[in-house]
Chain A
């Protein structure tokens, strides 16, 4: 961030120019209306249409992306508030030339019908597994003091409740996540 940009943001602005790191690449947003959500900036300014707009109110999870490794709803975040942040979208989840294990598992298990919620489901599941690895508890966790709870089916369902699937592929989504997580 240059001194000039820093100064601009310490004075009220209605448009801002700033950088993000998206899928490992520095990306610049020029003269962006500060009302623009991270979701709209990814899709409209940066052309990354994998992240989907479902409800646009944080209820469906179709816009799930990773910021600093944590999953969030991109629809409920201002792009300008993410200046300098490292963002991973569905386009950046896989290594070049290979599917992410969750992508392969969703294909194998047919864990979608229309596919609209799928990028959000996969980004959410990837970050959910990382949260579980860190030992984060959930509502389903019986022993809060345990360093890491077994990842039961009930745990997976609870931890994925922020992603809706209107085609109701939930049983197959659970199977796909289970394939990657391994046995509980």
Chain B
């Protein structure tokens, strides 16, 4: 691990200000992804801003029967919360489908959204990766791309976002509350948080320098069933090859793009009375494989149909 300086933030605004002043800084929340990447020297911050003392771990029910989840609430705490289990089962299911018991006790809600890709080439400093080293090239294009994106990829990057939580939040129309380096607060839809790679895959979100996620806000659940289905190489403790979150008439797809992929074409097809199969095909008409991951298009078609039918009961 490269040397860094360590500091404790005393407030969210203090953390943002410090990060805004130090372009090489990283926030430390659960650290389960960041410390792993720091050991590999893929992340090499010169300043770690530890958020541990900030009172941002509460999970509150809002007056309108939605939720406000503090950015430091752990995956375990969110998945075990009675209101989440009763009214937002898609969220509990998504969290329980990820990582291990140990990791879920440490990994936070904000950190979950900010985690980096699991693309093998991002993790391998011996291979070119535009996300790790802008301009270096992308070894995944011609390499082992079995788990690469099928939506929204570019010639610079075909990596996917690994979060299950973000996929469920997208289907729930959730947003994040942030505080910026100048102290300004704002709200951003989860669907608008992450960027597609384009020519700058190293810029992964629309957050500004130093901007900190302080909470995730989930509006009241829409009527209709909620389902999270995930397919992976092992039945436990593995990243997804494809996942689907359904919350009422809203559908989001995981492990297929650099962001949770909101399936608006499928939703529109269902609203027009089309079948789940037709809805899946409407969405997947735009999907493109790059060789090793072509199977994900068929896999996702079947998974979407199964999840939509399950949600309809």
Contacts and interface: CB of A to CB of B under 8 A. Distances in A.
A138 B80 CA distance: 9
Given A56-B39, A58-B102, A61-B102, A9 B7 contact: yes
Given A58-B100, A70-B105, A76-B36, 15 more contacts: A9-B7, A12-B7, A12-B47, A14-B6, A37-B35, A58-B103, A71-B105, A72-B105, A73-B103, A77-B31, A78-B31, A136-B79, A137-B92, A138-B101, A139-B96
Interface stretch (A43-51, A111-119, A155-163, A167-175): A155-163
Interface string A115-159: 000000000100110010011111101001100000000000111
A166 B228 CA distance: 31
Interface of B: 1, 3-8, 10, 28, 31-32, 35-36, 39, 47-48, 50, 52, 76, 79-80, 85-86, 89, 92-93, 96-97, 99-103, 105-106, 236-237
B48 A76 contact: no
Contact of B96 (A12, A73, A124, A137): A137
Contacts of A134: 80
B101 A144 contact: no
B50 A81 contact: yes
Contacts of A13: 5-7
A12 B15 CA distance: 12
Nearest to B74: A70
Contacts of A162: 99-103, 237
A144 B88 CA distance: 10
Interface string A70-108: 111100111011000000000000000000000000000
Contacts of A37: 35
Nearest to A35: B1
B128 to A, nearest CB: 22
